[in-house]
Copies of this chain bind each other. A is one copy, B any other.
Amino acid sequence: METMLPSREPGQTKRRILEVAIELFSQNGYSAVSVREITKHVGIKESALYNHYKTKDEILQSIYQLFTDASEGNTLPSPEQLEAMLQHVDLQTFLKQGFEQFKRTIENPLLTQIWRILNIEQYRDARAREIILTRIYKGTIDFLESAFLLLQQNKKIKDTYSPRMLAVEYQYPIFAMMTEYLLLRFDNKETDELQQRVEAHIQYFNDYVRP
């Protein structure tokens, strides 16, 4: 008689641990989730987890790594690509494309869960802080600044304000709406009004910088 196939494909258990941990950490935070709870969901004994991860913290580290990899995956265009693109495209189209990118991000459950984890751990864990400040805040603003600079040089938008300031005025409301979105969705509340706000914000910004 055959055994109950305890022989899963190699690497599957490790992947399952990561998935379950992301799910649980994003709801309760790293510190409030026990290894016991993770392994129960995965269907293995506590100690078996240590065959795949040296410590509980190493799981968290892997989660951060996953986010970093994904951010580099849907990589921002290079300066040359950006320049070529903005030759043919006006502000409206550029912002619309950015918005579509934004929507894909928030519709990706994995990324939103890790985003929540980063928010929860940002004070306890300097690695989360680093990702938020450098990769999310600074990275986005730097990118938009270079884009707006090019648009100003091409006379496609007003140059009353510095490109960096325009980047902040455009992006920061979107950060705040993202935060609110994550909270509303956590309670399965409606986010239609919020989506309209994002679109209205793009319209407002567009009106303001039109030359």
Q: Tell whether A172 pairs with B168 under 8 Å between CB atoms, given A28-B124, A29-B120, A119-B119.
A: no
Q: A207's closest neighbor in chain B, by CB?
A: B160
How far does the alpha carbon of A103 sit from the alpha carbon of B184 in the complex, in Å? 28
Residues of chain B lying within 8 A (CB to CB) of residue A176: 172-173, 175-176, 179
A206 close to B (CB within 8 Å): no
How far does the alpha carbon of A177 sit from the alpha carbon of B172 in the complex, in Å? 7
| Interface size in chain A (residues, C-beta < 8 A) | 39
Residues of chain B lying within 8 A (CB to CB) of residue A129: 183, 186-187
Q: Closest CB of chain B to A136's CB: distance in Å?
A: 10
A180 close to B (CB within 8 Å): yes
Which residue numbers of A lie inside 8 Å of B, CB to CB?
A: 26-32, 116, 119-124, 126, 129, 132-133, 137, 161, 165, 168-169, 172-173, 175-177, 179-180, 183-184, 186-187, 197, 200-201, 204, 208
Q: Closest CB of chain B to A18's CB: distance in Å?
A: 19
Q: Closest CB of chain B to A146's CB: distance in Å?
A: 18
